[in-house]
Structure 1
Amino acid sequence: MNAAEPFVHEGPDWPGLRIVATTRTGGVSTGPYASFNLGAHVGDAPEAVAANRARLRALLPSGPLWLEQVHGTRVADADRETDPAPADAAVTRTPGRVLAIMTADCLPVVIAAPGAGVLAVAHAGWRGLAAGVLENAVAAMAVAPDTDLRAWIGPAIGPAAFEVGDEVRAAFARMAEPPAQAFVPTGGRDAAGAPKWRADLPALAEQRLRAAGVATVVRSNLCTVAGNDRFYSYRKEGVTGRFATLAWLAS
């Protein structure tokens, strides 16, 4: 990838794997979607999205598997499903098969077993994360318990920007005690008097990944809300586009 291409950040340099994240620059969309919006479901002109996706496709070894993400836990088999039912994760063992997750604050997570030649990606908003989308993605990889599993958490809303209600903390507390500082009280309360929290989604994801057997977890530490305008952010903008995190096994 070179500086003229619409990528801002590459994931870890792991053997046999490529991971990239697009930015909001380098495309043809206008208005709140300017300019490299890849989301066909957010109100942007279809022809602009198609042009942006065509430019992206020209830079990749294959067309990305675009998922219909629904904040659920289903994992699509990218080696069998060319037009998958709604899913929030995908898995492949095919070199050059590009997996894609679109986000604008939620976590894009890439999970790889470089030695076993298997790759998964997952879209993890707080609902999907609490419901087990990452655990399902790891299970779909079907690797032996001692396999070297690694994960990269891409650009997403950071803990300083993600204010949530008490129902979010409760959703995670039902499964396991959240890691220290994953929920920090803001001092505010909602209309019903329940406390509000600042939630650390990357920390919660790392907890779930490690519990599922992922030994190496690397965070991008790029926040979609605070400190930069390189990414789309639904929390900050409301009407906005979507950027993509893409990964594939090298040939």
Structure 2
Amino acid sequence: MVCGDGSLTYGVGAMAFWDGLWRGRASQFDSGSAATNTIELTRRHNTVSLGKQGANTGSLRVNLSWRMRTSDFGGKPDQSGLLLRHPLKFFKPEMVQGHTHSMVNVDLDLGCLYELQDGTKGVVQPLGNFFGATNKPPYVECSGDDRFGSASGETVFVNLDHRDEIKRLLVFVYIYDQTPAFDRTHAKVTLYPSNGPRIEIELDERAPEARSCAVVSIENVKGDMIVRREVKFVYGFQAELDRLYGWGLQWGRGYKTKA
């Protein structure tokens, strides 16, 4: 309807139509989020209780996956969301990357520092072949070494049927070949509990010179396993993470066996 001043107004039917359309879009977003069955740990929402999810028992699978950013392959990153907010960015020249895929060979490794209730401390990681075990101490086991960032990635298993014997765990990621490249990868650690939604932690903070990252801690608090997002990058390796979290282990230079 056109008003006397030339402006437009809508009747009740039109308003109901647009309101219904908006509510429909909102419900799609809500259901889409729920359908993913995922809890994403962020700076603001950084902890989750496995006990409240009914997942204090069984096998907890912790997976690392990564892929190189599209800019490293010469492709143009998806800027659709950016353009909606800043349309003029479309006309800005794209930044030229100073490296190519052939120049970057990233080998991310997944590891886990553990401390048991009896005071036993150690590490589970591919480096040094410290693969651990799930049916005996430390009740933490590394699946192996993925040097190519495949879809399956690397996985650490935690046997939560023995949670009463576990005091705390620290899951970390490090770059074996010493090439700082966290800013060139889309790295993500995902926890798959025995029950309830999976838990995701993105390594999305800018730390171009870092070589290691404490990703997530799991602590036994009065029988409940509390998962906390850490995402703390350091410029050194396991020894520096050890000092940061007070593990007190002795570290030496380690090497991988050739594939």
When normalised by structure 2's length, the TM-score is 0.22
Whose Rg is larger?
2
More strand, by proportion: 2
When normalised by structure 1's length, the TM-score is 0.22
